[in-house]
Amino acid sequence: MDAPAEESGASLLGRTLAYANKIFDLPRQLEALPDHRQKPEIPAEVFAKSLLLLWICRLPSFNALEALGRQGWGRRFLRHSMPSADQLGRHAAMLDVPGLRGVLGGMYTRLSRNKVLLPLRGHRLAAVDAHEINSSYKRCCPDCQTRQITVKGQTRTQYYHRAAVFQLIGPGFRLLLDFELLGPHEDEGAAALRLLQRVLDTHPRCFDILLGDGLYPTPQRTTGQGGANDGVGLANHPSCRRSPCCHRGSVWT
């Protein structure tokens, strides 16, 4: 039973990559990302494409990606052997993040022109929320957040990263448009406001109503009695575009 499942997964991945190539010209855009290294052994686009595969296939770690690479997996798309987990980790820390945001912005523009991003009941919706993206007991960096975890009576420090994520949502689609890492001692709301300000500067008309949860600083509540996970909504008014936290707009109900 495993073989057909693997074939089906490979076929689905192949169609996804073909779509990314045809609609977004994604491989060429990843190849155009700047590389600031001196005399690199592996071209930068190999790392960008490898990380794209990691994300599309929802693999849990660089080690899982490296293991699949040892089976020859992904070589056709990468036009290169899969980098090691250590190489992927080192390069991920040097990625050109503004360039990647530009790639996402280009996808948004293309999907808008292709009439894929349709409104829901006449409203273009967006959502912002924070997600934990990795954790480790062994590895850390100056930007890590920390927490104490007790396992079998032993307390250990765990290092992790969270990011506020901005998505456009509608009937049949979700498009991740931008994201912002939380600082070491920062709460979700502060990172979300930076994120919203950048989205409003870059794509000021990409949404009408913003959905978030009750942790965000000033939005008007729409449901419940004030619990942390109550839904909230902000309208994208001109005053919001100047400062996303200044306006209590109309709400999504």
Note the residues at the interface with Zn ion (CB under 5 A).
141, 143-144
54 vs 209, beta carbon nearer Zn ion: 54
Per DSSP, the residues of 68-122 read HHHTTTTHHHHTSPPPPHHHHHHHHTT--HHHHHHHHHHHHHHHHHTT-S--BTT
- Least Å distance, CB 166 to Zn ion, is 21
141 vs 149, beta carbon nearer Zn ion: 141
- Least Å distance, CB 47 to Zn ion, is 18
Q: Which of 33, 65, 63 is nearest to 48 (CA)?
A: 33
- Least Å distance, CB 90 to Zn ion, is 13
Contact 216, 186 (CB under 8 A): no
85 vs 144, beta carbon nearer Zn ion: 144
- Specify the 3-state DSSP secondary structure of 130: strand
- Least Å distance, CB 131 to Zn ion, is 15
Q: How far is it, in rounded angstroms, from Cα 196 to Cα 44?
A: 29
- Least Å distance, CB 141 to Zn ion, is 3
- Least Å distance, CB 49 to Zn ion, is 24
Residue 101: C-alpha distances to residues 29, 87, 190, 199 (Å): 12, 22, 19, 10
91 vs 124, beta carbon nearer Zn ion: 91
- Specify the 3-state DSSP secondary structure of 247: coil
Q: Which amino acid is at 186?
A: E
Contact 215, 188 (CB under 8 A): yes
92 vs 120, beta carbon nearer Zn ion: 92
13 vs 140, beta carbon nearer Zn ion: 140
